Structure 1
Amino acid sequence: MRTKRLWATAGLLGLTTLLGSGAAFAAPGDDDKGRTDAGTSFRTATPIDQGQKGTATASTGDYLYWSFPADAGQRPRVEATVKLPESARGTGATWRIDVYDGLRRRQACRYGMQARTAGTASSVELACTLRTVRAWSEPWANDPLPGTYYVRLTATGLRTADLGQPVTAEVKATSKDVGGAAAVDGTLGAPLVPGTRPGSDSEPEDGWSSGWWTDRWVWTGIGGVLAALAGVGGYTLTRGTGRATSAGNSPSGV
């Protein structure tokens, strides 16, 4: 009887410990905002902020996804570094990054090494600079618009024997603020931010821009003031010349 009580007590203690440890393991998953390890599809893409580094520990043949927000007037640039162990070198695989907008339309790179063959190098450096994000566009156009952008990193041209080789990767998205030079007379009704996983956030820290205010208004105002001053100055000079001419043409002896 005593033995049965001991076993029962031990079972209760074990169950309590298991539940407690389960809660401890579940807690980090409740808030994955700090997690940057890559997702494996558009729907599971890991959100990162501009300037934040995304990471991945994966295998050759995997598709790795991250997402980041980009606003109107910004020119995003995505950089990626893939580190290859000795066993993954010399396979002839080509590593590639592609960037898609919130509608999952592939966006062309203006410049940058978007794809590169690994060869025997220990790492591969990739980069893609997009066109400037516009506040508004025609429905038929493929212009980059404010919202979520997806980064996909993968290797192509792999042989069957090369699949599953361990690799590590890092990505980082930054942007250059182009300003009023890229402003257009129109605004998007809402940023292209598709539904994301609960707890994820695809919005910039300082929110989305209003879409109508750019530094172009400042330069327009300065131009208007200068034009007004030039008009006043020209009128003053012309008026003075007219008076001098009239006085010189007046009849003598009057």
Structure 2
Amino acid sequence: MRTLRTAAASAAALTGLLLLAPAPASAASPSASPSPSASASGSAKPVLNSVGTSFLTATTLAAGQDADVPVSTGDYLYWAFPASEGQTPTVQVTVTLPEAADRHGPQTWSVELFDGLRRRQSCTAGPQDGTAEQSAPSLGLSCTLRQIRSWAEPWSGDPLPGTYYVRLSTPDIPQTDLGLAATVHVHVATKGGADDAQPEGGTLKDPLVPPVNAGATAAGPAATPAPSASASHAAAPVAEESHWYSDLFSGWNTRWWWTVAGGVLAALAGVLGYTLTRHPRGHRHHPQRSAPVPPQAGPAPHQHPQRSDNWQ
């Protein structure tokens, strides 16, 4: 009897130890949800709280990343994001304006996109500029860029793969509102990819300029007909007529003949021009000299000039 009680107590103690032991990882509850970092889609991109004030200090944003920044009204704000071939980026901006009691009139905000060469790109959709009244709490702006291309014409400003810059500014604002505190939320979204890299409005079926092969026809090779009896007795091609001067102006010495002929013509033109513009030396006309003036005879000796009696 005592032996049975001892065995029962030992079994109860062993069962309690098994119940208190931690469960293995494989026996975890199936209802437990995985952490966001372990999800198949990956963790969300962190929200940035910085902004640049020039192209060189622009804060870089990834596709699908947001930025919440407290800013000062009137400053130029810059962000940068990469764009690859076939993508169509869209930038969305939400401005939380200062308190209505602190403002003194409507405010105009503008969002602009620039490529890596600092060229301003046009927006295809979205309100790029917006004016908020004094009582408005916020203002929304957006800009959709054209599809990024892998080529561009020299005369065009097509968007090419690379870095693009977002500039947010206040082109029209009361002077007394400069420096007021505001909050800006920026979101960069892209659609498309390398598989969608095609010309806008359609797909290029054939090359614009067909390849040129010397000696080949544009049509496919056709079956060559068998020569007939009449074709074998066709007249031979007429030989090209030649003259005594044909060999002089053909072959390697052609340029020498033209060079010599050009030099002779230039010399003749120079001589003719000199002859027409200068008088011959043997036929120059000299001015006629006037005859010398003969000496005049003086008054006769012992002869006084007659005096006039009219003087008093």
TM over 0.5, shorter chain: yes
The equivalent residue for 2:97 is 84
CA distance in 2, matches of 1:88, 1:136: 49
Identity %: 47
Q: How much has 1:141 moved relative to structure 2?
A: 1.3
Matches within 5 A, 1:198-213: none
The equivalent residue for 1:101 is 115
Are the equivalent residues in 1 in contact too, given 2:113–2:164 (CA < 8 A)?
Answer: yes
Are the equivalent residues in 1 in contact too, given 2:147–2:159 (CA < 8 A)?
Answer: yes
Are the equivalent residues in 2 in contact too, given 1:96–1:114 (CA < 8 A)?
Answer: yes
Structure 2: runs of 5+ lacking an equivalent: 1-45, 207-312
- The 1:183–1:162 alpha-carbon spacing in structure 2 relative to 1, beyond 3 Å, is same
Q: How much has 1:136 moved relative to structure 2?
A: 1.1
The equivalent residue for 1:39 is 52
CA distance in 2, matches of 1:35, 1:166: 18
TM-score (norm 2): 0.46
RMSD of equivalent CA atoms: 2.5
User: Which one has the largest radius of gyration?
Assistant: 2
The aligned amino acid for 1:83 is: T
The aligned amino acid for 2:78 is: Y
Aligned residues: 156
SS of residue paired to 1:135 = coil
The aligned amino acid for 1:118 is: A
1:52-80: CA deviations, max 9, x gaps?
10232111110110000000100110000
Q: Which among 172, 182, 206 is matched to residue 157 of structure 1?
A: 172
Q: Which among 186, 189, 196 is matched to residue 171 of structure 1?
A: 186
Are the equivalent residues in 2 in contact too, given 1:73–1:132 (CA < 8 A)?
Answer: yes
Q: How much has 1:178 moved relative to structure 2?
A: 6.1
CA distance in 2, matches of 1:149, 1:61: 22
- The 1:157–1:34 alpha-carbon spacing in structure 2 relative to 1, beyond 3 Å, is closer
Matches within 5 A, 1:110-149: 110-119=124-133, 120-149=135-164
1:164-209: CA deviations, max 9, x gaps?
111010111111106655426xxxxxxxxxxxxxxxxxxxxxxxxx
The equivalent residue for 1:74 is 87
The equivalent residue for 2:68 is 55
TM-score (norm 1): 0.56
The aligned amino acid for 1:166 is: A
The runs of at least 4 aligned residues of structure 1 exceeding 6 Å deviation read: none
CA distance in 2, matches of 1:116, 1:34: 25
CA distance in 2, matches of 1:95, 1:110: 18
Q: Which has the higher helix share?
A: 1
CA distance in 2, matches of 1:73, 1:182: 4
The aligned amino acid for 1:156 is: P
- The 1:161–1:145 alpha-carbon spacing in structure 2 relative to 1, beyond 3 Å, is same
**Structure with higher RCO (Cα < 8 A, 6+ apart):** 1
SS of residue paired to 2:176 = helix
- The 1:90–1:113 alpha-carbon spacing in structure 2 relative to 1, beyond 3 Å, is farther
SS of residue paired to 2:151 = coil
Q: How much has 1:92 moved relative to structure 2?
A: 1.3
- The 1:90–1:50 alpha-carbon spacing in structure 2 relative to 1, beyond 3 Å, is farther
SS of residue paired to 1:161 = helix
Q: How much has 1:81 moved relative to structure 2?
A: 0.5
- The 1:129–1:59 alpha-carbon spacing in structure 2 relative to 1, beyond 3 Å, is same
CA distance in 1, matches of 2:121, 2:111: 11
